[in-house]
A and B are shown apart, each in its own frame.
Chain A
Amino acid sequence: MSKRINRRKFLLYGGATVGTSILLKACGSSQPTATNSPAGGSPASPAASGGGDTIKVGILHSLSGTMAISEKSVVDAEQLAIKEINAAGGVLGKQIEAIVEDGASDWPTFAEKSKKLIEQDNVVAVFGCWTSASRKAVLPVFEEKKHMLWYPVQYEGQECSQNIFYTGAAPNQQIEPSVDWLLENKGKEFFLVGSDYVFPRTANTVIKAQLAAKGGTTVGEDYLPLGNTEVTAIITKIKAALPNGGVIYNTLNGDSNVAFFKQLQGAGITADKYPVMSVSIAEEEVKAIGVEFLKDQYAAWNYFMTVDSPANKKFVEAFKKEYGGERVTNDPMEAAYIAVYLWKAAVEKAGTADDLEKVRAAAYGATFDAPGGMVTMNANHHISKIVRIGQVREDGLFEIVQATPQPVVPIPWNQYVAETKGFACDWSDPAKGGKFKA
């Protein structure tokens, strides 16, 4: 008898907790939703895409789970761009209405939500995804529906879908220039450290081939399982392979980065003898890891918050005004911001938002004066952009030590990897398509 009451009690307690949290959630989130639909129309308005007075676009990122850390700020940048465009009169005289969906750091959820955005909400474009895994999960959906995804993160390349526009860096726009710079300025011996998944492994294949071609040597490489924080063995190996100092090329992702830099310092590996070049550490990550551990180390990106240009000044100011003075901007956020504006340029050139074929064709050659410099959409669905190398300063931002004089043209199919050597991508010509022998 007493057991049954206990169980009921447990259920009641549980119910109470759930109830309270739902209530709190409801009032906590009431504010963001208000800003989500700046058009003023109720979100449930049945207007089909383009038929009403708004143009609906989807935003699909992880707002919960592991990836929420990074993806939330990308959503902020996308919403800022949409807000700016709406304030300036919208697109084709219509306001943009953003429908935000949560991918929850779960790849099947991404696929499900992208279907929902396309089929139920009738959006005309989706801005979304961060990890390659989530992109690969939604790719079949977008190809089947012949729809349009704008993907804002630097990635490993080896993909060129007609239904995706990639506004982040292709490998030749981040990794290759940074390796060249390191070879010239920091040394010829490289130790490669990465997380154990597709991006670091592909990236390191590229780096090894590039080093072999340009007179550098790979003295060692090691991979940590995602989330692992024990790097003692790797540090021993680095010391054994590079007793007198050398370059460490770091493609770690997520929590492992924190452990890596904290323990490097403890082991006496310092930036003056062992410069570390990272490709996944931007302004937000520096803040979370701690400047003490990162000072004087390097990162390669297309954009840093410290880029000195009128467009960037405007972007940073607008962002801080919208989301708070302590917030920082970073490369994926800039790429997401670019994505919205390039889509707008394409829609305006095409004169329609609904005919995706026309919008796609109009996107080729579309330009935008981005915070990081002028960008151009190429026929291979990637954008030309400037590549920069930054060094972490005392204040946690980057001192830009190197920038390419011209925007670098993207190469999605890797020319250092045997299977894709000689291939290219050109969607402006139906005969060529996504992968053809150039």
Chain B
Amino acid sequence: MLIVQGLLEGLFNGISIGAVLLIAALGLAIVFGLMGVINMAHGEFMMLGAYTTFIVQNVFKTFGSPWSETYIIFALPVAFLLTASFGILLERGVIRYLYGRPLETLLATWGVSLILQQFVRSVNWVIIAGIVIFSALFFGGLWFISKRADYDRIKTLVWTIMLPVSAAISGVTGFILAQTFKLAVTKPWFGAQNVDVTAPAWLRGGVRVFGTFQIPYARLFIIVLTAACVAGIYLFLQKSNWGLRIRSVTQNRTMSSCLGIPTQQVDSLTFALGSGLAGIAGCAISLLGSVGPNTGQNYVVDTFMVVVVGGVGKLAGSVVAALAIGTLNYFIGSGAIALLVQPIKPLADFFTFFATASMAKVMVFFLIISFLQFRPGGIFPQKGRTVDA
């Protein structure tokens, strides 16, 4: 009986660790798996999702009692939409110029991740006003001028004039704003500190199953959410028209393009979907961990690990990999394996040595590397034609 209990507890805990890994990796499984874009800013999209949760929480707090307990339900779609639009911005603004050049993409998205981190640290009304004014002047002006017939001829001239002028105007406006309203507009919204996201009362605590084993509600919520996301993506990719287009572009871009599929739109959509999922993941992890500018960095390595182990381009692979890594991590880290092999003294000693959180990580990485030696393509390798990106 005790062994059954231990096993059940272990399985649940393994799955719950795996669910966190999976929900964090889902978006990347799409962006990196299907599109082949190495998006180092994936963690920062999660961070944006977590900050969105923080904002939604504070807005709902002002509504009073019944509403303040439901904020998480509303934070999910808001986080999805916000990070998805950031994703579109990133795809249209940076990544689409770098398709087929993975190294440049890696560097560019790494840069974007640093910008986003610093952005949440220092964002205030002055910066927002500056960005809005600059975009309105520059992109608005560009759109206006581009209607002229001789646009192509004066293009360079327009750029060299408009860029510094709009930058100067927005800068000066920001400066004036800062000087007139002082702290009211220059105070950072979030600052460098971590912010406090508190799970609603119904997600705090847990349900006692037997003995000392208690299933935390927040973990259950994340498992359900992860399952829903996986099911949603599966249905979207397999059953919808756009899903079909995404899959066809993944398999053969040139042929899809010939058959009239708007590949650029498909790219944007895919990237938005992946980024939006990162936002949902950010929402979920805010229930368990800290929300701060570095939140994303804590997850980005793990998410790449999951996608690579699972096999690039295969959603099912990511699911299996996340659950396997989670369970393995738990069983090694909690010392359950050491207990299991207790009769054999040297083996037990070996596993006891690895039964701390940091050593378990070493062991898991070692196992992953050995696994990839035998199966370089991951659990479910992509068959046939490679993705042409």
Report which A residues bind B (CB closer than 8 A): 6-7, 9-10, 12-13, 15-17, 19-21, 23-28, 30-31, 64, 66, 68-69, 72, 196, 221-225, 227-234, 236-237, 239, 243, 255, 257-259, 262-263, 265-268, 284, 287-290, 292-293
Checking B171, B290, B358, B361 against A24 with a beta-carbon cut-off of 8 angstroms, the contacting residue is B171
Q: Are B214 and A259 in contact (CB under 8 A)?
A: no
Checking A72, A227, A236, A265 against B298 with a beta-carbon cut-off of 8 angstroms, the contacting residue is A227
Q: Are B358 and A68 in contact (CB under 8 A)?
A: no
With A232-B13, A259-B288 in contact, is A227–B357 under 8 Å at CB? no
A377 to B288, CA, bound (A): 43
Chain A residues near B205 (CB, 8 Å)?
265-266, 268
Q: Are B134 and A258 in contact (CB under 8 A)?
A: no
Question: Quick one: which of B200-214 are within 8 Å of A by CB?
Answer: 204-206, 208, 212-214
Q: Are A223 and B358 in contact (CB under 8 A)?
A: yes
Q: Are B9 and A236 in contact (CB under 8 A)?
A: yes
Checking A13, A30, A255 against B290 with a beta-carbon cut-off of 8 angstroms, the contacting residue is A255
With A69-B192, A227-B297 in contact, is A233–B329 under 8 Å at CB? yes
Measured as residues with beta carbon below 8 angstroms from the partner, the interface class of chain B is: 35 or more
With A232-B13, A236-B13 in contact, is A266–B219 under 8 Å at CB? yes
Q: Are A222 and B357 in contact (CB under 8 A)?
A: yes
With A27-B178, A288-B196 in contact, is A222–B216 under 8 Å at CB? no
With A16-B134, A31-B186 in contact, is A229–B13 under 8 Å at CB? no
* Chain-A contact segment, one of B76-84, B118-126, B234-242, B309-317: B118-126
Is residue B87 contacting chain A, with contact meaning CB distance below 8 A?
A: no
Q: Are A66 and B294 in contact (CB under 8 A)?
A: yes
Q: Are A233 and B294 in contact (CB under 8 A)?
A: no
Question: Quick one: which of B326-349 are within 8 Å of A by CB?
Answer: 329-330, 333-335
Question: Quick one: which of B78-126 are within 8 Å of A by CB?
Answer: 93-94, 97, 115, 118, 121-122, 124, 126
Is residue B284 contacting chain A, with contact meaning CB distance below 8 A?
A: no
Is residue B27 contacting chain A, with contact meaning CB distance below 8 A?
A: no
A37 to B115, CA, bound (A): 30
Q: Are B294 and A227 in contact (CB under 8 A)?
A: yes
Known: A229-B289, A288-B193. 18 other contacts (CB 8 A): A16-B138, A19-B164, A27-B178, A66-B294, A196-B357, A222-B356, A224-B357, A224-B358, A229-B288, A233-B329, A233-B334, A239-B212, A243-B212, A266-B205, A268-B205, A284-B193, A287-B193, A288-B194
With A222-B357, A225-B361 in contact, is A27–B194 under 8 Å at CB? no
Looking at the assembled complex, report how far the CB atom of B206 sits from the nearest CB atom of chain A, in whole angstroms: 5
A196 to B360, CA, bound (A): 13
Q: Are B357 and A228 in contact (CB under 8 A)?
A: yes
A327 to B360, CA, bound (A): 39
Chain B residues near A258 (CB, 8 Å)?
194, 289-291
Is residue B67 contacting chain A, with contact meaning CB distance below 8 A?
A: no
A19 to B138, CA, bound (A): 13
Which residue on chain B has the smallest CB distance to residue A227?
B298
Looking at the assembled complex, report how far the CB atom of B52 sits from the nearest CB atom of chain A, in whole angstroms: 18
Q: Are B171 and A255 in contact (CB under 8 A)?
A: no
Is residue B246 contacting chain A, with contact meaning CB distance below 8 A?
A: no
Checking B204, B294, B355 against A266 with a beta-carbon cut-off of 8 angstroms, the contacting residue is B204
Is residue B131 contacting chain A, with contact meaning CB distance below 8 A?
A: yes
With A28-B122, A237-B335 in contact, is A12–B163 under 8 Å at CB? yes
A233 to B330, CA, bound (A): 6
Q: Are A19 and B289 in contact (CB under 8 A)?
A: no
Looking at the assembled complex, report how far the CB atom of B308 sits from the nearest CB atom of chain A, in whole angstroms: 19
Q: Are B356 and A223 in contact (CB under 8 A)?
A: yes
